[in-house]
Amino acid sequence: MLISVNSGLYSARQGRPRVPMAEAMAFFGQAGFEAVDINFSAVIYEDEWKHEPILDGDWERNLDMVMKAAQENGLAIALTHLPFYKYDLPDKDRLERYTGMMYRAIEATAYIGAKYAVLHPHRNEAMETSVPETVAYLTPFRDAAQSRGVTLCVENMVTTSAQVLTQITDALNVSACWDVGHANLGGFDQYASITALGGRLKALHLHDNYGTKDDHSLPFLGTVNWHGILSALAAIAYKGVFNYEVSATMLPMELREEHAAYLVKAAKLLLGRK
């Protein structure tokens, strides 16, 4: 498994514009990562300090620079994270903008050659995953992705069991992303869930927490069952990347090299690599 990281690990920073994504590629390569998950989720954020501008303006040229930097730093572009928002947002103007950026992010995923794109299911007012509504809302995105050779991976949320995720992916004929932090918050058994998903599982969001808050923390700084996860991945012969979705927005830039080094070393430990 290639050791992969979400691009936001370096680009997002508190109270300042994001580091250009192409610049982040150099950081990841030097840290020892082998692949990258291009984060398009922040392209819809309107706050100037949170907004990811990679798909603004001449977005193809922007992505050309990212691809060049990734190649120069030995990074495979493995997957992307699409924008997430309420698919039934009552603000119709905002909904139209967000949906337009979703389609652009799907097109961008194909443009950079990533095979998989992760997106969220629909949740009702009780924050429970709704299978029929998710299938209805995601079908147009599925069609757009398939027409461009991209496979959507629907992600589990805190209330999403592997059984519900299986219903969604099978109905849409798409794949799954298992977020181990969300599963830990929801009290789901990691081994049983991953093995139930089986070959549907094509992407991972790896991070830790103590089961009370979605901390997106470093491995072993929480109660996530890493042994169960690795055992399950071996049992299903998982072929994807070992992809981190760890938060570093609040972390000073001066500490990020050590932070990234820990992640790479933890991945090698978990994967039994030297």
Task: Encode pLDDT of 168-194 as tens digits.
Answer: 999 999 999 999 999 999 999 999 999
The pTM of this model reads 0.96
What DSSP string describes 178-226? EEHHHHHHHT--HHHHHHHHGGGEEEEEB-B--SSS---B-TTSS---H
Close Cβ partners of 252 (under 8 Å, ≥ 6 residues apart): none
For 80, the 3-state DSSP assignment is: strand
For 103-162, how does the pLDDT look when each residue is reduced to its tens digit (9 = 90+)? 999 999 999 999 999 999 998 877 789 899 999 999 999 999 999 999 999 999 999 999
If we measure between CA atoms, which residue out of 96, 13, 104, 3 comes closest to residue 57? Answer: 104
In one letter, which amino acid is 207? H
Tokens of 181: 């932090």
